[in-house]
């Protein structure tokens, strides 16, 4: 299993699949289709059935049941795209056997060093086989590790028919990193009762709570006049933008929050005297507090309109997804089964809220309850990203274990 996972993962990450928020097409980049087509061929080659890819790049496949019990159909999902935060072109994965707990030089000329002094969790991986970047790109373990683990788990189940399971569906989807993963996902065609995204981080992560999420885009129009004759006439849009931002609670930003704390996050600020654009995301686990955050931003904007003029400021406020806990708690047994599958492998489940996005948030509200399980990676979206092959193997075994437990508990 180790060699299979390494071979699969390192081949996937070499395909540039960064998504692109500026492109409305689905998928938003051609590399995602390149990988999706390769995955279709691989699924067929290992013996999966009903392998399909639609015009939007969503890949689906079936592992037929080998049990006579009435087992719920379950699914496993991972996304093919990588983050927009850091380049994913020309990824050159490096394999470190039997990691010794010391500094790892990722790129000597650029002096890029992965050090336990900066990332203390590296000490958890002494003796593991690690895969790192070469210090010039992200790695793409988010979420190509999930793809490799699902693919390896399905291959393993096909090769070991003595492991009984119900019908299993798998899907590999585009554009998760730009929030569009489920937008064109056909839940009816997928035809599963429950699913799991294999898109988490370190060993044992098991998540079924996510933020309520919204985006806010603000456009401010100013009036630019020569500064020598500007008195009473100039309206500086950048200063209005600063005034707006200063009305937000300073401590309620990502860099000051953790756990169940929500925030306002300024993503971008572009402007001058004549025109300024701001982009925010709004996050909170509690639905009432989430609504209050949106109401507060709206009120601040209305107050500024009263002060500077109704036509000077525009606000676009859109919900993105909601806390999937509301949809998963009524079927909490799917979380319990994942919990049990981990414990059977002597993995201590780490149940925590997702302080980020997951396709499961939207899918759960589309009628497919979908918690999230770990992949084994850390430091996603940057040059210090790495993953433990040992923990990728355990993630694969958890997938197999979940499938087996659903069959075991069925009548």
On whether the CB atoms of residues 392 and 145 are closer than 8 A, the answer is yes
The whole-angstrom distance between residue 173's C-alpha and the CA centroid of its chain comes to 11
Return d(Cα 380, Cα 140) in angstroms, integer: 8
By CB atoms closer than 10 A (0-12, 13-18, 19+), residue 142 is buried
The answer to whether residue 390 is catalytic is no
**Of these residues, 16, 81, 207, 359, which one is catalytic?**
81
The answer to whether residue 134 is catalytic is no
DSSP 22: T
Return d(Cα 72, Cα 402) in angstroms, integer: 12
Beta strands in 80-125 (DSSP E): 94-96, 104-107, 112-114
**Of these residues, 149, 175, 176, 359, which one is catalytic?**
176
CA dist 344 to 279, 314, 398, 408, Å?
A: 45, 54, 9, 14
Return d(Cα 169, Cα 368) in angstroms, integer: 12
The whole-angstrom distance between residue 191's C-alpha and the CA centroid of its chain comes to 23
Q: Which residues are catalytic?
A: 81, 176
């Amino acid at each position: 299993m180790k060699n299979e996972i390494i071979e699969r993962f390192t081949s996937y990450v070499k395909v540039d699949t960064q998504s692109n928020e500026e492109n409305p097409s689905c998928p938003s980049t051609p590399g995602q289709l390149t990988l999706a087509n390769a995955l279709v061929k691989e699924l067929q080659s290992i013996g999966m059935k009903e392998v399909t890819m639609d015009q939007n790049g969503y890949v689906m496949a079936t592992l037929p049941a080998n049990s006579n019990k009435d087992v719920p159909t379950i699914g496993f999902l991972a996304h093919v795209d990588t983050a927009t935060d850091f380049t994913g072109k020309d990824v050159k994965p490096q394999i470190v056997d039997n990691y010794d707990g010391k500094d790892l030089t990722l790129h000597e000329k650029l002096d890029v060093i992965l050090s336990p002094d900066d990332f203390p969790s590296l000490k958890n991986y002494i003796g593991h086989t690690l895969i790192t970047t070469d210090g010039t790109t992200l790695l793409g373990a988010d979420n190509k590790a999930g793809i490799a683990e699902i693919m390896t788990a399905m291959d393993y189940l096909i090769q070991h028919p003595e492991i009984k399971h119900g019908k299993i569906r798998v899907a590999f989807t585009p554009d998760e990193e730009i929030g569009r993963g489920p937008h064109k996902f056909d839940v009816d065609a997928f035809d599963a009762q429950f699913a799991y995204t294999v898109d988490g981080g370190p060993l044992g992560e098991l998540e079924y709570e996510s933020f309520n999420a919204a985006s806010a885009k603000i456009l401010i129009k100013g009036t630019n006049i020569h500064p020598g004759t500007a008195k009473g006439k100039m309206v500086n849009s950048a200063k209005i933008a600063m005034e707006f931002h200063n009305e937000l609670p300073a401590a309620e930003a990502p860099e000051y929050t953790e756990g169940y704390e929500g925030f306002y996050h300024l993503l971008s600020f572009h402007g001058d005297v004549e025109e300024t654009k701001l982009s925010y995301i709004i996050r909170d686990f509690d639905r009432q507090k989430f609504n209050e955050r949106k109401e507060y931003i709206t009120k601040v904007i209305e107050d500024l309109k009263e002060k500077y003029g109704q036509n000077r400021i525009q606000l676009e406020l859109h919900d993105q997804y909601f806390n999937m806990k509301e949809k998963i708690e009524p079927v909490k047994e799917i979380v319990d089964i994942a919990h049990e599958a981990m414990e059977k492998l002597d993995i201590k489940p780490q149940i925590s809220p997702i302080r980020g996005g997951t396709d499961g948030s939207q899918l759960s509200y589309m009628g497919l309850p979908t918690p999230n399980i770990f992949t084994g990676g850390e430091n996603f979206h940057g040059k210090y990203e790495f993953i433990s092959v040992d923990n990728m193997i355990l993630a694969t075994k958890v997938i197999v274990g979940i499938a087996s437990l659903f069959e075991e508990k069925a009548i």
